[in-house]
Amino acid sequence: MIKSIFLAIDGSTYTDSVIDHGIHLAKKLNSVLRIHTVIDIRMYEWVLNTGGEGYMPVIPSNVFHDESFKFHSERAEELINSVRKKLADSGVDFEADHVEGAPVDVICEISRQVDLVIMGARGDYARWGDRMLGETVESVSRQITSPLMIVDKKYVPVNSITCAYDRSESSNNAMKLAAYMAGELKQPVDVVTVNDDQTEREEILDEARKYLAPYGLNTKFRHEVGDVGKVLINATRDVPEPTLLVMGRYGHSRIREAILGSTTVEVMRGAEKPILLTK
């Protein structure tokens, strides 16, 4: 059951998409939204003096500290006020505010009080970077215990759910969440396993069929061979309509590489969004 959803926003080009995904799910799941932006205390408590290739931390003056804090506080308040206006007529129960702290720490702390977290794939400085995934969301994904949905900068409603399954504990959690989401959103489920052993992959898909049977969902089951990351990325691209990829962060057998080392980060960076990660 997802009854509380935390939207982590920062005023970047991804913010509207995070809000729109949150509103959509809150209406479908009858959930409340908790919306927070983090005033990053690192922005004004320490300054990085960038000379040449070096970075030197220096202690800021009291004047700088006060002015910087005022600037970031006013910016955060403007963002929260705009969010409140946007949600005022949405019909969704919500609370919105700004908090101080280190973004990753704050997001992980709040995540323990909700059922789902939604974040943009990149953050406030995305337009100056060339990374395919923001450092904050990548760090959060390594530490968070709640399900984490990562969205792109444009909101596009999904029309199906794709679940990566390998019968590990993490993928079992993904299967349960995928079944719940599919039932509430009235969407079909495509279960994908990646395994070169024909006997094992048939057993895996048979377990998935038995688990999903009581839900009465429109389901498809398929197996693939090869590189796990590439298969899952293609599963989000080679579809006629947008899909929500649900996968565990910790795998079994070949998907064991998904312990937020190679495979999971590869999928997070390369897959079409949104994707939903479970522990």
Confidence label for 279 from pLDDT (cuts 50, 70 and 90): confident
pLDDT of 171 > 60? The answer is yes
Confidence label for 48 from pLDDT (cuts 50, 70 and 90): very low
pLDDT of 54 > 50? The answer is no
Average pLDDT on 149-161 reads: 95
> When comparing pLDDT for 178 and 252, which is higher?
178
Q: Which two tokens stand for residue 124?
A: 């406030």
Average pLDDT on 133-139 reads: 85
> When comparing pLDDT for 195 and 43, which is higher?
195
pLDDT of residue 50: 45
Range scoring the smallest mean pLDDT among 55-59, 73-77, 91-95: 55-59
> When comparing pLDDT for 228 and 94, which is higher?
94
Amino acid letter for position 14: Y
8 Å CB contact between 236 and 272: yes
8 Å CB contact between 77 and 84: no
Which of left, alpha, beta for 37 (phi over 0: left; psi -120 to 50: alpha)? beta
Q: Which two tokens stand for residue 254?
A: 């070949």
Residues across the chain: 279
Q: Kindly report, residue by residue over 243-276, the tens digit of the pLDDT.
A: 999 999 876 544 444 444 568 888 998 999 999 9
pLDDT of residue 65: 64
Candidates 54, 71, 55; CA nearest to 63 is: 71
CATH placement of domain 4-151:
3.40.50.620
Domain with CATH 3.40.50.12370 in the chain: 160-278
User: How far is CA 211 from its chain centroid?
Assistant: 25
pLDDT of 124 > 80? The answer is no
pLDDT of residue 60: 59
> When comparing pLDDT for 46 and 206, which is higher?
206
- Helix then strand then coil, in percent of the chain rounded to 5, is 45, 25, 30
pLDDT of residue 46: 55
pLDDT of residue 85: 96
pLDDT of residue 251: 62
Q: Kindly report, residue by residue over 186-225, the tens digit of the pLDDT.
A: 999 999 999 999 999 999 999 999 999 999 999 999 999 9
pLDDT of 128 > 50? The answer is no
Domain with CATH 3.40.50.620 in the chain: 4-151
Range scoring the smallest mean pLDDT among 11-20, 47-56, 157-166, 232-241: 47-56
Name the fold adopted by 160-278.
Rossmann fold (3.40.50)
